[in-house]
């Protein structure tokens, strides 16, 4: 589903990457393996960005510090930003 070069693959990459805990050591190796298996570049970029912004540990940390509207804005902007960066990367490459 993430091998296509369309917008749906980028959104799916962000959805799959959102709950993933990706640190700076594991993420490049994981994404390199996914690209070798056929993942598109834009989907890989949205996967990386969504994992860094909206991983479960990051979301728990933000949830404990802010109220519901700020948390919802953080999650929505993080997800939208991951899709935007993935789309831009797909367009440029």
Return the pLDDT at 19: 79
pTM: 0.86
**CA-to-CA distance for 25 and 14, rounded, in angstroms?**
19
Q: What DSSP line would sit under 6-55, residue for residue?
A: SHHHHHHHHHHHTT----TTHHHHHHHHHHHTT--HHHHHHHHHHHHHH-
Return the pLDDT at 3: 80
Return the pLDDT at 82: 94
Return the pLDDT at 79: 92
Q: Which residues of the chain have pLDDT under 50?
A: none
Q: For the chain, which residues make up each domain, given as ranges?
A: 9-92
Q: In the numeric block, which tokens belong to residue 73?
A: 């804005």
Return the pLDDT at 17: 85
């Amino acid at each position: 589903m993430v091998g296509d070069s369309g917008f749906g693959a980028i959104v799916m990459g962000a959805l799959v990457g959102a709950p993933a805990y990706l640190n700076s050591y594991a993420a490049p190796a994981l994404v390199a393996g996914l690209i070798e298996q056929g993942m598109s570049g834009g989907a890989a970029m949205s996967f990386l960005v969504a994992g860094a912004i909206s991983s479960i540990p990051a979301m728990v940390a933000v949830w404990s510090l802010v109220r519901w509207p700020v948390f919802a804005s953080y999650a929505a902007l993080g997800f939208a930003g991951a899709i935007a960066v993935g789309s831009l990367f797909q367009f440029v490459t």
